[in-house]
Amino acid sequence: MSFLQAAALLAVAGCGTAVVLTRDPTRQVIVTGFFGLLLAVLFFVFQAPDVALSQIVVGTVAVPVMALLTLARLRTRARRRDQP
């Protein structure tokens, strides 16, 4: 296993732990985007360009955008609940 592959694996493992340990959802979305990018690098290093292409767009564009929209909606609703 080459050095690049080992480094990518370690980075993915570390970032996955960071995603879980980041409790605040807004911050976690950023870490998730970064995790998606690291996964794409891992896929490239494993000689899987098609998968990496999918992962880049999905993991750094689609999922963070949807999560942030959901969080914004939740925050608006919470704010509206607090003020009568």
Partner 1 sequence: MSRRFRLSLFAVGAAVLAAGLLHGLAGLPAFGHYHGVYGTVLDRVTVSERHATDVITAINFDYRGLDTMGEEFILFAASIGLVVLLREQRDEHVDAERASEAGDPEQASDAARSGDAADPERTGGEAGSDARVEAERGGGHRLRTSPALLATGRWLVGPVLVLGVYIVTHGQLTPGGGFQGGVVLAAAVILVFVAGGRVAMAPIRPTGAAEALEAVGAGGYVAIGIAGLIAGMRFLSNFLPLGTVGSLLSSGTITSLSTIVGIEVAGALTLIVSEFVDQRLLVGGRSATEPRSPK
Partner 2 sequence: MSFGPFAVAVWLLLVGLYGIVTSRNLVHLILCLGVVQASTYVLLLAIGYRTGGAAPIFADIPVGTRAVDPVVQALTLTDVVVEATVMALLLAIALQVDKRFGTVDPDELRDLRG
Give the chain as a DSSP string: --HHHHHHHHHHHHHHHHHHH--SHHHHHHHHHHHHHHHHHHHHHTT-HHHHHHHHHIIIIIHHHHHHHHHHHHHHHHHHHH--
Question: Nearest approach, Cβ of 40 to partner 1 (angstroms)?
Answer: 12
Phi, psi of 23 (to 5 degrees): -85, -30
- Within positions 23 to 82, which residues make up the interface with partner 2, using CB under 8 A? 23, 25, 28-29, 32, 35, 39, 42-43, 46-51, 54-55, 58-59, 62-63, 66-67, 70-71, 73-74, 77, 81
Judged by CB, which is closer to partner 1: 14, or 58?
A: 58
> Which residues sit at the interface with partner 2, rule CB under 8 A?
1, 5-6, 9-10, 12-13, 16-17, 19-21, 23, 25, 28-29, 32, 35, 39, 42-43, 46-51, 54-55, 58-59, 62-63, 66-67, 70-71, 73-74, 77, 81
